[in-house]
Structure 1
Amino acid sequence: MEEIKIQGARIHNLKNINLTIPKRKLVVITGISGSGKSSLAFDILFEEGKNQYLRSIGILAGLDNEDRFDRIEGIGPTVAVRQNTIRQSNPRSTVGTKTGILNQLALIYASDGKSLGEQNKHHSPGVFLYTTVEGMCISCQGRGSYYDINLEQLIPDKTTTLLEVYESLRVTAGFLKLLKKKYGMYFKTPFGELPEEISGEVIYGTYDNGKQSYCIERILRNAYEKGEDVEEVYTKTICSVCQGERIGEEAREVFFGEKQIGELGQMTLSGLFYFLGEIAEEELSQFGKNIVKNMKKKLNHLIEFRLGHLTLYREMASLSGGEVQRIFLHLHLASRLDSLIYIFDEPMAGLHPSEKKSMIKAVKELRDIGNTVIVVEHDKEMIQHGDHIIEIGPKAGVEGGTVVYQGDYKGYEKADTPLSQYLFGKCTMSEQKARMDTFDRADCLILEHVNTHYLKDLTVAFPLHAMVGIAGLSGSGKSSLIEETLLKRLASSRKYGYAIGIAGIERISGFAKISQEPIGRSANSTPVSYIGIWDKIRELFAEQPEAKMKDMSAANFSFNSKGACKDCGGSGYERIFLTSNFSVDKRCQMCHGKRFNEESISVDYKGKTITDVLAMSITEASFFFADISSIAKPLCVLEQMGMGYLTLGQPSSSLSGGEAQRVKIAKELGRKRKGNMLYVLDEPTTGLSMYDTALLLKLLDQLVDSGNSVIVIEHNVEVLKNCDYIIELGPEGGDKGGEIIAKGTPQMLRVNPNSKTGRYLV
């Protein structure tokens, strides 16, 4: 079967669409954000590919398609990676373990390593792996670092009770309820007087099947990983025994090329490739020669994918979505499997314009070995190389969900669709009026002597009351400069009342980081709960005469509380686990996915039940609640940002990074700030089409025109063209980066021969 045929696809906003997708081709699915392209790619193609495979081997034979489509033919085994997939947080999962390079290095050290003693002792490969009991550093358990809790800072007063400690850590009401069941009898006890076994459990928790219970260490670690300012009481410390090398004493006594394996683990992939190239062949055994040859081939492949700035010990949880996908792509190309269907979610995300060719080459190679490659993408270059292009639209939400174009690139140029107009120049971004030709150093934030990671003692001036772009190749130091230095120094100065290593802080009233971190990881979190109007909607239902007659409160209109369906607990589905980390969802047979019990659904407001309201789009809801300003105003801001297609009940975990970021911008715009704020954004165009990018730029301009300052880390040339000032880092990534190679207006970068970005700003 050379085609995938879909009839009557109707999940989410898809309007009974029919499609024929050619197999063994590079297929690009594009469309405005919220048009339905992800519903087609992931909720139809991927889910049905997975479910058909499970049914074919006799698992979940009774699982139906839940009315998602009429018929699908030609689907096969399907593999997918999404941008918003929650990556594993295990600190032992690193680039080295994921790619297998660390295991190969361990084999080299076991066969060709040289000990300090006169006699070379034979070691097993496990001795050189921090993932094994025999190889890990016992002090840090193979993590290379550990977190110290400063109890004196956390509990400065001897009379501070356990309850007061929990309250100072802002433990949620739900968790406090659970903790009360376990430690309630100690809540009023001064922390210093707790029994030793209880205080140990409260601080570090207990472990059940490797899972840590809810404890102070876990609370602080979660806050630290979210970027919250807890460094005063919770700091990451490099292990003093292994110095971050993760391995035990026995392995640290063995050298290869005069380096320990832990030293190689901390090298960039580019640096490791160069190091292996310097090893003379005559120094290696035949086995060693073969391993080194294989490693160099693998490293070169990863470097071609623009991952050379990563280290083997870089934790997978810390990688961007684009980096994860490029590692995933490398692994599947190396496996040489064919006849699969691969689905990628914006693999061009996080790539500098000069780095895109390698990604296009890789997905074509995956296609050429006999696979079907489906890419959900907005990038013009990727679309240009597609064998078959599908645009879903014409707009978002209820105005989307239809196929507005399918065919080749040549035919796409003649199509009159919302995105093709931008792609082929029929519709252009509005040109930003120049706010500055030069900048006044007296109106700047200045970072002094920055040496974070690979940054080379930089002093950097950021113009205020402007939009400043931070550009550069992957790994050149953009996040090190902004996230790891600027934001941390700003946070420290706010906390301690004085600035160290930063000047001009008195010129801003405050700062806010608007990241792409999820605004909620569970299905119970929604954009409307995040912006603070969900409680108001529930209270509105509780005020209705029928609700008052039944003595119902706002809790009866929450699927997290009294209003929840008893069978599914308010989730709307039954989750069936096939293995510990692989599951499928089946719609709840009691509430049919509505999430609420019958009593909660019996009450209406203006003829709409609480489930009807959750099913409304933001656009519909802004009209429905037009007479209630406190609800309608935040909804109108979201609509202005092009997010009117989202439904009120959409899980926050389903939002792309770009969508989550725009919800955060909407929340900021809705706040009554005193002006002169500094807003910092990291790649806000992830997940956005050119149409949506134009809307985003209007909002950022609105922030600046209102007297605020914006710093944006970005690769998107349309955003960089609209910046007032650009700071470009480079020249390469990792240890070959960390310098400022160009700075100035977009016009200045265009003529700067050192700039690697300027040539794309025409």
Structure 2
Amino acid sequence: MPTAKASNATNGAAAPAALDVIRVRGARDHNLRDIDLELPRNQLIAFCGVSGSGKTTMAIDTLYAEGQRRYMESFSTYTRQFLDQLDKPDADVIEGLPPAVAVTQNQTSRSNRATVATATEIADHLRLLFARIGRVICSGCGQEVHRDSPESIARWLQDQPAGRRGMLAYPHETDSPTWREELVEAGFVRAIIGSHTYNLDDPSVRDLPTGGSVLVVVDRLTTPGTSEGRLTESIESALHHGADHCQLLLETDNASPAAGAADIDGRRWQVFRFGRSLHCGVCDLSYTEPSPQLFNFNSPLGACHECEGFGSIIETDMGLVVPDPTKSLRQGAVAPWNSPSYLHELEELIALAPDRGIPLDVPFAELAPQHLDVVLHGSPEHEFGGLDGFFRWLERRKYKMHLRVFLSRWRSYRACEACGGSRLKPDALAVRIGGKNLAEVCGQTAGAALNFLTSLPLSDTEQQVGQVMLNQVRARLEYLVEVGLAYLPLDRSLRTLSSGESQRVAMTSTLGSSLVDMLYVLDEPTAGLHHVDVKRLTGAIHRLRDRGNTVIVVDHEEDVIAGADQAVEFGPAAGVDGGRIVFQGPPARLCETPDSSTGDWLAGRRSMVPGGQRRAAENWVELTGASGNNLQEVDLRVPLGVLSVVTGVSGAGKSSLVLQTLYPALVASLGKENGRSADQSPLPYASLSGSAHIDNVVQVDQQAISRSPRSNPVTYIKAFDPIRAVFAEQPDAQTLGLTSGHFSFNVEGGRCETCQGAGRVEVDMQFLADITMRCRECDGRRYRPEVLGVKYRGRDISEVLEMSAQEAFRFFRGHKKVQQKLKVLLDVGLGYVPLGQPSSTLSGGEAQRLKLAGSLAGKQTGRSLFVMDEPTRGLHFSDIVRLIDCFDALLEVGHSLLVIEHNVQLILAADHVIDLGPGAAGEGGRIVATGTPEQVAKKPDSATGRSLAEALRKNAEAVRELDDE
């Protein structure tokens, strides 16, 4: 998910203290062409240009990286080793730089522990608020639990009705054989043992057995006649000897129902318990002292013991173990035992079945309880462990990755019964503010939580103590409401959010803060947002600028560029053909610049004008009764053989319907469930039909392809194999006996063993930050000298890896196998990417397009349905045209496309549109319009329809203007 990074840079000694511009001279990082740039401070500046033109390099790798570096320099060398540090930008001069904060595009958190509240820092401030002003309410009697002191106990006693006899005592354990002598030596005279009061020097006391507890009488009193000084002193003594606990027994005729009662010496006494700790005297329950960590489900101090703070427990799901109960045991009803590796388990069951009378040919659902017991729990006399023994065996060996994956396929989650899904210990849930505990506050939506905290009744002291925390929480909640996320529960897991929701949640800490005179760098903040949501977000960004901050936005959204104070376009193309400034100035003038690709699209000189015949559906896939998350019994019909686009405002249910219901349902229907984990089962639905019309379903998402720096585009699309074959065919290679394998940097043979083919080595600097430096042995070229000595057209294998896909395509002219593989990178708009760039450094949009390129290069056999989630993320208008051409190529060979998308340009190119809404969360979850883009544009109740109608109107005007010219 996008993550916020912060620095606190100063301007440096050489920079003027009051410089009103950010000045960059000679920037050369990545593909930047030694450019100079001056940016006015306290303005909103939009960086635009085609993908790979250098926008992010200037914004993140130059401006923000320098701000972070200056901040890091203020720390000691010991501290810096624990902090992530960006490389020093390659620039001659950077000055006028204010403290910097960046919100970048990173992988969405997959942890179940990450929630909306934790990601926005709302949880941190709420923990502190509850620890400081929360009130402990006893779970037994519902009364507030106080800490007692000698003075407060004395005052309570003084308020009791006059004339009541009482005894002040404390509990004492009698484990020691000399307990009586010890008490006498301490000066105590009496003790209550059982239902009688004894003098400690009474001989009968000596005959009492040790063990158990007695009440040692510290003082006898009458209310309220005992002097306050004596009473306070006696209470202090009782608390001291009673480990901060004491009891007051008051004589009465009728014991109050709210207090304990005891019969002593033939009289009735009320028993009141007091203590310095949080202890309920009525229920005799003790509570932990509130602290911020007590309310943290990621800490052992606060996490529920049962679920360890996850809120749910994973367990074996018989619905997954026996997916088809109509099958018999012999037919393979128990799915885990159908694998060749574990078929022996089924064979053992079949062998013992005659002895236990287990029918092997009746449906599993009809097995008698005693027969199910053998299948589940085993048969010790036959040394058969059953499913329980089988899964225990897997548990003991789950340190092996393949067994851990296999085990997860048969498990699902259920809410923790101990904490009710709240994740916290009972002591944390006992603390309340305004009648609600922390779990109840976080269980509310952002809008409801804002209303609750705004109207919170607090005393003057509580208001003074909690004001800072409340202000921080309210500011973040107000932002969530402002950008249309008022419906999100604060305890909602981040992994269940759509990309648009994740994007806005990630920006909450940044845009919801009150910092001024800062540099904010926002990398594609509108990614995943519907046109309606974009307008809300741009309003928040404008207010961030209005507070006196400099805001740099890297984005392709027309509304963001048009609403900026200044636009800077990088280009003119990507990779080696980019890295220069094409335009800088007011956005209105951008449309007048003839060499501006962005200006052409904004001015309407280029546009996506729908035309020609829409493709007709060959067949349909139908899903009925989808009801997961906010879906309201949705019936979905997906046409095959065409480009279908699912639209709707963020939170309308698109991801729930397509990615979490339809896709996993198709995977299961087509028998592709191998490797599926417990949390990848489809959300509830009634029926699925039409899957027989496709041979495969492929999800192309934006998850990182690999975390390994060894993975790169050329290996992912399998283009490196024919490239290595080309080098192996060279005469020098054959003379040296070098095969294709010697040109691989991932295996021994031809690679440099010092860096193991990585080209760089990491040096441990102990208390200093570790340094990654070029390998001295191979000079960063990955291979041994004899391998590098083999050249093709004057270039060695290392130089080929540094080429962009576009350059390599031209370089390998005449080699059809290589060019066919590389062409798919060009088709999806990744021609600027170096062949050897680590896949872990690609953005989410680039990763998704690389996956699409891999599917194209792999030549998917049969009829496949490609399911994609916002493939236009991070793409310029011109790049989207290439992507649509790539889609056309897939459709021409018989595949089908189902795309979740907000980009109007791509929606206009679709054959079929399925619009969800009309709003988000409870106001969405329904299909409000279907048909061609023109048909949906006529639906006034559809937010997408209104956007399409506006786009079609603009396109029509642009066409008329071109015709007039």
Per the alignment, residue 8 of structure 1 pairs with: 26
Cα RMSD, aligned residues only: 3.9
CA change 1:34–1:218 in 2 (3 A) is farther
Superposition pairs of residues 71-86 of structure 1, within 5 angstroms: 71-83=93-105, 85-86=106-107
Deviation of 1:661 (Å): 2.0
Q: Are 1:248 and 2:425 matched, yes or no?
A: yes
Q: Which moved more, 1:325-334 or 1:570-579?
A: 570-579
Does structure 2 retain, via aligned residues, the 8 Å contact 1:329–1:362?
Answer: no
Q: Are 1:99 and 2:120 matched, yes or no?
A: yes
Q: Are 1:70 and 2:247 matched, yes or no?
A: no
Specify the SS of the correspondent of 2:671: helix
Q: Are 1:477 and 2:663 matched, yes or no?
A: no
Q: Which moved more, 1:307-316 or 1:582-591?
A: 582-591
Q: Are 1:143 and 2:310 matched, yes or no?
A: yes
Per the alignment, residue 165 of structure 1 pairs with: none
Does structure 1 retain, via aligned residues, the 8 Å contact 2:503–2:527?
Answer: no
Q: Are 1:703 and 2:890 matched, yes or no?
A: yes
Q: How many equivalent residue pairs?
A: 711
Deviation of 1:276 (Å): 5.6
Per the alignment, residue 433 of structure 1 pairs with: 612
Return the alpha-carbon distance in structure 1 between the equivalents of residues 628 and 391 of structure 2: 40
Q: Which moved more, 1:747-756 or 1:592-601?
A: 592-601
Per the alignment, residue 544 of structure 2 pairs with: 366
* 1:419 aligned residue (598, 607, 613): 598
Per the alignment, residue 50 of structure 1 pairs with: 68
Return the alpha-carbon distance in structure 1 between the equivalents of residues 873 and 89 of structure 2: 31
Does structure 1 retain, via aligned residues, the 8 Å contact 2:107–2:844?
Answer: no
- Residue deviations 1:604-645, cap 9 Å, x none? 223211111101121222232233322211212222333222
Q: Are 1:614 and 2:637 matched, yes or no?
A: no
Specify the SS of the correspondent of 1:604: coil
Does structure 2 retain, via aligned residues, the 8 Å contact 1:521–1:652?
Answer: yes
Per the alignment, residue 561 of structure 1 pairs with: 747
Return the alpha-carbon distance in structure 2 between the equivalents of residues 723 and 47 of structure 1: 40
Return the alpha-carbon distance in structure 2 between the equivalents of residues 719 and 581 of structure 1: 49
Return the alpha-carbon distance in structure 1 between the equivalents of residues 687 and 115 of structure 2: 32
Specify the SS of the correspondent of 2:888: helix
Q: Which moved more, 1:689-698 or 1:103-112?
A: 103-112
TM-score between both structures, scaled by the size of structure 1: 0.83
Deviation of 1:674 (Å): 5.0
Deviation of 1:574 (Å): 4.8
Return the alpha-carbon distance in structure 2 between the equivalents of residues 31 and 77 of structure 1: 26
Does structure 2 retain, via aligned residues, the 8 Å contact 1:308–1:733?
Answer: no
Return the alpha-carbon distance in structure 2 between the equivalents of residues 528 and 351 of structure 1: 31
Per the alignment, residue 669 of structure 2 pairs with: 493
Does structure 2 retain, via aligned residues, the 8 Å contact 1:309–1:475?
Answer: no
CA change 1:231–1:605 in 2 (3 A) is same
Deviation of 1:112 (Å): 4.6
- Residue deviations 1:122-174, cap 9 Å, x none? 55254443223233221221012244468985566797599xxxxxxxxxxxx
Deviation of 1:533 (Å): 1.8
Q: Which moved more, 1:337-346 or 1:690-699?
A: 337-346
Deviation of 1:599 (Å): 3.9
Return the alpha-carbon distance in structure 2 between the equivalents of residues 583 and 376 of structure 1: 31
Deviation of 1:736 (Å): 3.2
Deviation of 1:675 (Å): 5.0
Per the alignment, residue 43 of structure 2 pairs with: 25
Q: Which moved more, 1:144-153 or 1:233-242?
A: 144-153
Per the alignment, residue 686 of structure 1 pairs with: 873
Per the alignment, residue 364 of structure 2 pairs with: none
Q: Which amino acid aligns with 1:262?
A: A
Per the alignment, residue 144 of structure 2 pairs with: 120
CA change 1:219–1:741 in 2 (3 A) is same
Per the alignment, residue 941 of structure 2 pairs with: 754
Return the alpha-carbon distance in structure 1 between the equivalents of residues 87 and 913 of structure 2: 50
Return the alpha-carbon distance in structure 2 between the equivalents of residues 309 and 217 of structure 1: 40
Superposition pairs of residues 557-636 of structure 1, within 5 angstroms: 557-562=743-748, 563-575=750-762, 585-588=772-775, 590-636=777-823
Q: Which amino acid aligns with 1:749?
A: V
Per the alignment, residue 263 of structure 2 pairs with: none
CA change 1:668–1:334 in 2 (3 A) is closer
Specify the SS of the correspondent of 2:601: helix
CA change 1:54–1:116 in 2 (3 A) is closer
Q: Which moved more, 1:481-490 or 1:751-760?
A: 751-760
Q: Which moved more, 1:408-417 or 1:694-703?
A: 694-703
Specify the SS of the correspondent of 1:495: coil
Does structure 2 retain, via aligned residues, the 8 Å contact 1:245–1:265?
Answer: no
- Residue deviations 1:61-109, cap 9 Å, x none? 9x998893333333344332321x2455543232212333334545459
Q: Which amino acid aligns with 1:117?
A: G
Deviation of 1:743 (Å): 2.7
Does structure 2 retain, via aligned residues, the 8 Å contact 1:81–1:325?
Answer: no
Specify the SS of the correspondent of 2:819: helix
Per the alignment, residue 713 of structure 2 pairs with: 527
Return the alpha-carbon distance in structure 2 between the equivalents of residues 91 and 612 of structure 1: 43
* 2:632 aligned residue (456, 470, 478): 456
Does structure 2 retain, via aligned residues, the 8 Å contact 1:473–1:730?
Answer: yes
Specify the SS of the correspondent of 1:688: coil
TM-score between both structures, scaled by the size of structure 2: 0.66
* 1:304 aligned residue (466, 479, 482): 482
Q: Which moved more, 1:500-509 or 1:583-592?
A: 583-592
Deviation of 1:597 (Å): 4.1
Deviation of 1:256 (Å): 6.7
Q: Which amino acid aligns with 1:558?
A: S
- What are structure 2's unaligned runs of at least 5 residues? 1-18, 146-277, 279-286, 322-333, 345-383, 674-684, 950-965
Deviation of 1:505 (Å): 1.7
Deviation of 1:660 (Å): 2.0
- Residue deviations 1:578-604, cap 9 Å, x none? 999997755445544433343432222
Q: Are 1:717 and 2:896 matched, yes or no?
A: no
Per the alignment, residue 516 of structure 2 pairs with: 338
Specify the SS of the correspondent of 1:306: coil
Return the alpha-carbon distance in structure 1 between the equivalents of residues 489 and 633 of structure 2: 22
Specify the SS of the correspondent of 1:608: coil
- Residue deviations 1:253-309, cap 9 Å, x none? 677777664354344323544566787789x97579957676444322212123334
Return the alpha-carbon distance in structure 1 between the equivalents of residues 837 and 69 of structure 2: 23
Q: Are 1:350 and 2:537 matched, yes or no?
A: no
- Residue deviations 1:340-398, cap 9 Å, x none? 32221100111111111222222223333333221111111111122221111111122
- What are structure 1's unaligned runs of at least 5 residues? 163-189, 206-213, 221-229
Superposition pairs of residues 266-415 of structure 1, within 5 angstroms: 266-273=443-450, 295-316=473-494, 323-415=501-593
Q: Are 1:639 and 2:826 matched, yes or no?
A: yes
CA change 1:692–1:257 in 2 (3 A) is same
Does structure 1 retain, via aligned residues, the 8 Å contact 2:475–2:512?
Answer: no
Deviation of 1:715 (Å): 1.0
Return the alpha-carbon distance in structure 2 between the equivalents of residues 738 and 266 of structure 1: 21
Specify the SS of the correspondent of 1:427: coil
Greater Cα radius of gyration, structure 1 or 2? 2
Deviation of 1:449 (Å): 1.0
Q: Which amino acid aligns with 1:20?
A: E
CA change 1:16–1:735 in 2 (3 A) is same
Q: Are 1:513 and 2:690 matched, yes or no?
A: no
Deviation of 1:737 (Å): 2.4
Return the alpha-carbon distance in structure 2 between the equivalents of residues 336 and 67 of structure 1: 29
- Residue deviations 1:26-82, cap 9 Å, x none? 221111112222222222223333334434657599x99889333333334433232
Specify the SS of the correspondent of 1:757: helix
Return the alpha-carbon distance in structure 1 between the equivalents of residues 672 and 548 of structure 2: 60
Q: Which amino acid aligns with 2:929?
A: A
Return the alpha-carbon distance in structure 1 between the equivalents of residues 887 and 390 of structure 2: 53
